[in-house]
Chains A and B, each alone.
Chain A
Amino acid sequence: MSIRLALTSSALAVTLLAGVAGVAGDRSGGPQPAAASGPAVAERSAAERPAADHPARVPAPGAAAGAQDCTEGETGNVRQSLRPRGPLPPPGQMTPGSTMADIAQRGRLVVGVDQDTYLFAFRDPGLELRGFDIDVIHDISEAIFGAPDRVTYRPLDVVDRVEAVNGADPVDLVVATMTVTCERRERVAFSTVYFKTGQKVLVNRGSGTRDLAGLGGQRVCAARGSTSLVNVLVHPAKPIGVGVASTTDCLVLLQLGEVDAISTDAALLAGLKAQDPRTEIVGAPFSAEPYAIAINSGKTDLVRFVNAVLAQRVADGRWDESYDLWLREPLQEPPAPPVPEYLD
């Protein structure tokens, strides 16, 4: 295991340098030189595996010692992203040669989503996707095309989200309740944070459980490849982590009595609780989970563009509108749009 960790760290260091090169090379916004993204792609499989099944939440040793210290938590810099350059161009008039112009040319924005996450992205009776994440996607489509629905959705399992922006036939964006972490930032670029939540625990009403500490030796469910599952696995109370493809599958297991609790972001738990009134959310949040949009780290112009859209939708009240529609009642908290933090 230690050899594997060392290999992972060196891979991270390589990808980190590549990432920095990519950021520094932000000129026209066109496709980045192969040198910037090449090593990242080559090393990904080595770096990805331990991330998925190794419990250590990575403030990676390699990264800490590297050129740029990435830190998580309330005072961390992990949430910083690229500052928008000037006002947004009018819809339909993207800067020639930019990634947005390519998307406009293609006619559709391709977005990786989770389609079973109630309140964030789920199917309505007409099978259309709706939810808080989908509203964000609609606003980005609106900014590029002047129409909210020029989107091709690609459903992703939680564990496949990073691969989706880097692999063959990549998506433009991943908007899927994705937490920004230092480890993930080695391999993808993130937008500014559009929603903040923290991890809590969902149990059957009347189970007597108050928090994760009371679940030692019991089965606790979370999505494979999520930060939530890692947090469960490293918890000192030693609960038994059960990984599934999608957070909603956890609710099935809880209802069938195959797990004792679900632990993930409070906002996702609120979506599960809304589907099963005989459950309750317990405890205080024990992690910070800032959600941001994942983008290929080569496409810095798209990162800046998306950040401009995110800032604008907060400024013109659409963030509040969307929050009120989906999350206010289930979360029982007033709207608090995250303040964007920038690198540059």
Chain B
Amino acid sequence: VQLSDQPTTTGQAPRDGVLSRVRRHRLVHGLIGDWETTPGKLRVTRLVLVVVILLCGVAGVRAADVRIDATHEIRETIEPLNDQLTTLYRSLADADAVVASGFLTGSAQPGPVAQRYDDDISAAATSLSEARKNADPLTAIRLTDIARQLPVYTGLIERARGHNRQNLPVGVAYLRRASELMQGSILPEAEELQRRQARKLDDAYQQAGSLPVLALLVGAVSLAGLILAQVFLFTRTHRVFNVGLLAATGVVLVGLLWWTVAGLVSNHYLRDSQGHSQAVSDALAPAQIAALQARAIESLALVARYGDASEPDFQTQLELLARENGEGGALGAARTFITDQRGQDLVRAAVAGIAPYQEAHQKVRTLYNSGAYREAVDAAVVGSAAAFAKLGDTLNAAVVHEGNEFDTDINRAENWLRGLVVGTGLLAFAAAIGAMLGIRQRLEEYR
């Protein structure tokens, strides 16, 4: 034991002029003692270690917090808005398709068709007002624009229905005009909004799943600091183990491990939830819309007696829905996004539902082209309508399922992060105490 390393400043009288220097000197002494001596070095080490470990804790808590906030924002704001905009777009497209097919069945619009149109419009209105709550100013302006045009559309449809009920051809002219407004102005705007929101959602996911660089860096520094401190103690004191420092090292390691595991698991769920979200907004919703458009084209072709002129458009929509045996098109995309078995099954069922609809449609076309107009209309109202409804139901079920899966996964992602906030804080605190105790034990050997 090297007693000569004990502090030697006591007993010296301070002189004028150097008083302040001496005071400062004493202040530093109080904290770490003489830097030149081993205990001084130990005190410095203790201070640095505690600060770095606590910083590490703060960075960890902060990183977890930022990610929780991002996840939270996805769950509470961005995804709901994305969902509302998707619903808005889909229900508007559906309304337009439904109205056209309503005219198929003659002037008195039958109950279910009128009901579905009403449901679509009220769903659109609801999602409009809900979306405005979550919208940024730019989106809000566009939403207001859609909200302004929607009553114009429904007004035109009301007039079309009124005239049609009286069997006046001007009703169809109103329908055409309404459809022009929907297809030419409202739908493109709704689609653009939905796309923009989908991009925003991607950005938010990126942020929520980003590597917590700072926290990991500080964690690595504190780990390195702890190891260096032990090496230093070993060279100075020739004692191999220091329980406090060893415990602190273990705790920091546990913290880093926890961060890595929880981060990875949370990211995994985050990716899954993003997959479910994209499955809906990038694949299933476009699939629904393509199916609706195909049905609208089929209906209008009969109402307006387009002959085969609109047949390519119909086929194009079905191709957008799925092609290459369900490998391509919107449903093909859905299969790449969806990770769970039930979701995959539903998409497969939807792909399988296209062929019956295609067949029923061919029957309508064959009847029409043979000149059997009445029979073609009947086939469209009964056979192809049933096949289409089945396809639509399957797609709906897939959308609902994916929505539920999204909720489950994003909650899991958030829960894993939530443990980190408290956990990282406590661990850092424990590690700091460990380091402090460990070094105090050595310091006491110098008294």
Contact = CB atoms under 8 A, between A and B. Distances in A.
A214 to B, nearest CB: 25
Which of A118, A123, A125, A275 counts the most B-chain CB atoms under 10 A from its CB? A123
B168 A275 contact: yes
B174 to A, nearest CB: 6
B173 A251 contact: yes
A115 B168 contact: no
A275 B307 CA distance: 28
Interface residues of A, number: 28
A278 B185 CA distance: 31
A118 B172 CA distance: 11
Interface string A126-166: 11100000000000000000000011111100000000000
Nearest to B309: A154
Given A118-B169, A126-B106, A252 B177 contact: yes
A125 B106 contact: yes
Specify the main secondary structure of chain B where it touches its partner. Answer: helix
Nearest to A246: B173
B173 A125 contact: no
A248 interface: yes
Contact of B173 (A116, A123, A126, A151): A116
A249 B177 contact: yes
Given A118-B170, A251-B173, A252-B174, A154 B106 contact: no
B134 interface: no
Specify the main secondary structure of chain A where it touches its partner. Answer: mixed
A69 to B, nearest CB: 39
B371 A154 contact: no
Interface string B293-308: 0000000001111110
Nearest to A107: B371
Contacts of A252: 170, 173-174, 177
B258 interface: no
Contact of A118 (B106, B107, B168, B373): B168
A276 B170 CA distance: 9
Contact of B172 (A123, A150, A151): A123
B418 interface: no
Q: What are the nearest 9 A-B pairs in CB distance?
A: A122-B169, A116-B169, A275-B168, A248-B173, A125-B107, A125-B106, A252-B173, A275-B170, A251-B170
Interface of A: 107-108, 115-118, 122-128, 150-155, 246, 248-249, 251-252, 255, 272, 275-276
Interface of B: 104, 106-108, 159, 163, 167-170, 172-174, 176-177, 302-307, 371, 373-374, 377
23 contacts: A107-B371, A116-B169, A116-B172, A117-B169, A123-B169, A123-B172, A125-B167, A127-B104, A127-B302, A127-B303, A127-B373, A127-B377, A128-B373, A128-B374, A150-B371, A151-B371, A155-B306, A248-B172, A249-B173, A249-B176, A249-B177, A275-B163, A276-B170
